[in-house]
Amino acid sequence: MKLYKVKKSNIDRKGHGLYAAKDIKAGTKIIDYVGKIITKKQTENSDKFDNSKPIYLFNLNSRYDLDGDVSWNTARLINHSCSNNCEYEGKGLKLWVSSVKEIKKGEELTCDYGFSYDSDYKQFPCKCKSKNCCGYIVRMESRWRINKKFKKSLSVNR
């Protein structure tokens, strides 16, 4: 039995998301993240990655990227949340999504998209509605630049 279901998302109102089909323990591999393996040169030469953040583009190694923006990659439907319950993991040329905490049946599966903080971060508002939401899709390590409360929580964790 699959650990996930595709449903209309609560985060991305226009799109779909993945939901836990049953209770999932922390550290469980949930779904493979598949796509086309392309060279860095192809990434550089493609218009596709020019004007938008590379939501579906993953760095595999110094030579290759993975373009997950293909219809057969169900894992591309996973939305970003500032309080994510899953993360992307990889080894060699393989990527997958694993749970980072216990997830209850029916919860939406979410990852940290890992966008860096740069001048156009305001293009990507976050609608995750978690109490940790910084308002924009920016990786956890950079959220303090947007909201001071994250700086505080970082120092507490050290």
138 binds Zn ion (CB under 5 A): no
Q: What is the chain's alpha carbon radius of gyration, rounded to the nearest angstrom? A: 16
How many amino acids of this chain bind Zn ion (CB under 5 A)?
4
95 binds Zn ion (CB under 5 A): no
DSSP H stretches of helix in 3-135: 40-45
* Phi, psi (rounded to 5 degrees) for 109: -85, 135
* Interaction pattern, residues 111-130, with Zn ion; x per rule: CB under 5 A: ---------------x-x--
Q: How far is the CB of 77 from Zn ion (least distance, A)?
A: 17
> Which contiguous run of DSSP H or E holds residue 156?
helix 149-157
* Phi, psi (rounded to 5 degrees) for 28: -95, 135
Q: How far is the CB of 124 from Zn ion (least distance, A)?
A: 10
Burial of 72 (0-12, 13-18, 19+ CB in 10 A): exposed
Q: How far is the CB of 132 from Zn ion (least distance, A)?
A: 7
Stretch that binds Zn ion, among 33-41, 76-84, 88-96, 111-119 (CB under 5 A): 76-84
Output 95 or 128, the one with its CB closest to Zn ion: 128
Binding stretches for Zn ion (CB under 5 A): 82, 126, 128, 133
